[in-house]
């Protein structure tokens, strides 16, 4: 066994552990937050501050009976929860968690990248894998052999295709700005502070970090809206609209298979926020206080920064869920096709013109 293989296996296991613990934390975070916004207490019985409530729920779901509906298409019904989980774990593998570091082990120095895999097509990989996730919803809806899940599945396929286009188009200006499709390079390109040719503007702007969100605020808005729609969260949760479709695509699922859908939804939410932080908020970049703090602390500082940024975005996700009412289906489609996609196209052209002028000068000069 080569060392590379061992490192890869360790990385995969760490990713699994991080994502699962994180989901427990995230569900508690959301329930507490929504409860606070609605003047309730929220979970507070299991464990300190109710932190272990999710563990208790998971154990309950594990022990429950798993029902196979009579009219269900057996193979597809069993396959759908698996297809839901796999892409959510795969996306996490391309998110850079921190800078490279070296370890000295048995007289050899290994450089370890704090990312599952640094792909030279990382952005495309993210889009491709997240488009695979549609199948789980569509198949779950269809294979249940019941009308409400089917409606949820049809809605999901239309919704996810429309918002994927806007999402991909919003990422193109980012790729142009950083000049790379690799997520590691995109983070590195956001290091430093903004600068300007005009001296007065430069003195104001030089305090602001060179994150993509500042020059690309429109792309950030489009991407964030599309991200909320892509993970089927409120106000875009028509896929599982309780008032109309009972539970949507997972109505007929019970026990651990339902838990798998639930887990996939929260991992996707976390991934989407971490990806947004990577593209627009500088990823793991931030002050590491190298001389003030002990070295081990400054080593994990980048991970803490990424975590803080991700949870700030997750707070907005939950905030939106607690405040905004659900969109109607035609409004959802209109927002996707008639607003977001044209807006992202116009923004793409504008940013390419700006970049072109910056690179080659004005055409008449």
Task: Report, in Å, the least distance between residue 5 CB and other proteins.
Answer: 9
Task: Report, in Å, the least distance between residue 138 CB and other proteins.
Answer: 5
95 or 318: CB nearest other proteins: 95
Task: Report, in Å, the least distance between residue 214 CB and other proteins.
Answer: 26
The residues binding other proteins (CB under 8 A) are 73, 75-76, 79, 119-121, 124-125, 127-129, 131-132, 134-135, 138-139, 142-143, 150, 153-154, 157-158, 160-161, 164, 181
Maximum pairwise Cα distance, the chain: 74
Task: Report, in Å, the least distance between residue 132 CB and other proteins.
Answer: 6
How far is the CA of 339 from the CAs of 31, 160, 226, 333, 346, in angstroms? 32, 16, 11, 9, 11
Query: Residue 233 forms beta bridges with which residues?
Result: none
Let me know: does 23 contact 268? Beta carbons within 8 Å.
no
35 or 127: CB nearest other proteins: 127
In whole angstroms, what is the distance from residue 212 CA to residue 174 CA? 7
Let me know: does 169 contact 344? Beta carbons within 8 Å.
yes
The helix-helix angle for 295-323 and 217-230 (nearest 10°) equals 70
In whole angstroms, what is the distance from residue 142 CA to residue 76 CA? 9
Task: Report, in Å, the least distance between residue 13 CB and other proteins.
Answer: 20
In whole angstroms, what is the distance from residue 12 CA to residue 203 CA? 45
186 or 314: CB nearest other proteins: 186
Query: Residue 105 forms beta bridges with which residues?
Result: 108
2 or 365: CB nearest other proteins: 2
Task: Report, in Å, the least distance between residue 164 CB and other proteins.
Answer: 7
Task: Report, in Å, the least distance between residue 72 CB and other proteins.
Answer: 12
119 or 320: CB nearest other proteins: 119
Alpha helices per DSSP H over the chain? 3-37, 53-63, 74-92, 122-132, 134-143, 147-178, 183-188, 199-205, 217-230, 242-245, 255-280, 295-323, 329-334, 341-360
27 or 231: CB nearest other proteins: 231
55 or 86: CB nearest other proteins: 86
In whole angstroms, what is the distance from residue 193 CA to residue 226 CA? 28
């Amino acid at each position: 066994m080569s060392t590379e293989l061992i490192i890869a296996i360790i990385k995969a296991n760490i990713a699994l552990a991080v994502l699962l613990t994180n989901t427990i934390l995230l569900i508690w975070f959301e329930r507490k937050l929504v409860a606070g916004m609605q003047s309730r207490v929220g979970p507070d019985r299991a464990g300190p501050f109710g932190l272990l409530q999710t563990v208790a729920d998971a154990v309950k779901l594990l022990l429950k009976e798993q029902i196979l509906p009579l009219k269900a298409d057996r193979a597809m019904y069993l396959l759908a929860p698996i297809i839901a989980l796999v892409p959510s774990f795969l996306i996490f593998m391309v998110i850079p968690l921190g800078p490279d570091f070296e370890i000295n082990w048995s007289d050899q120095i290994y450089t370890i990248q704090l990312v599952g895999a640094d792909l030279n097509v990382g952005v495309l990989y993210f889009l491709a894998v997240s488009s695979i996730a549609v199948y789980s919803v569509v198949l779950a809806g269809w294979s249940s052999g019941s009308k409400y899940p089917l409606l949820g599945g049809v809605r999901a396929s239309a919704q996810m295709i429309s918002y994927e286009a806007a999402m991909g188009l919003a990422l193109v200006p980012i790729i142009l700005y950083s000049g790379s499709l690799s997520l590691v390079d995109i983070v590195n390109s956001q290091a430093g502070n903004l600068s300007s040719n005009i001296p007065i503007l430069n003195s104001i702007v030089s305090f602001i970090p060179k994150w993509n969100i500042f020059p690309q605020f429109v792309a950030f808005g489009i991407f964030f809206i599309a991200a909320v729609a892509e993970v089927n969260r409120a106000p875009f949760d028509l896929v599982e609209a309780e008032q109309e479709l009972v539970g949507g695509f997972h109505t007929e699922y019970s026990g651990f298979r339902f838990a798998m859908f639930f887990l996939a939804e929260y991992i996707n939410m976390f991934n989407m926020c971490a990806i947004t932080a990577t593209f627009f908020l500088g990823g793991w970049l931030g002050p590491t206080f190298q001389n003030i703090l002990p070295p081990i602390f400054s080593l994990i500082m980048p991970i803490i920064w990424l975590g803080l940024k991700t949870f700030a975005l997750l707070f907005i996700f939950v905030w939106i869920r607690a405040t905004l009412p659900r969109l109607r289906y035609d409004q959802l489609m209109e927002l996707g096709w008639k607003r977001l996609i044209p807006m992202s196209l116009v923004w793409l052209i504008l940013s390419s013109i700006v970049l072109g002028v910056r690179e080659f000068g004005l055409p008449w000069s």
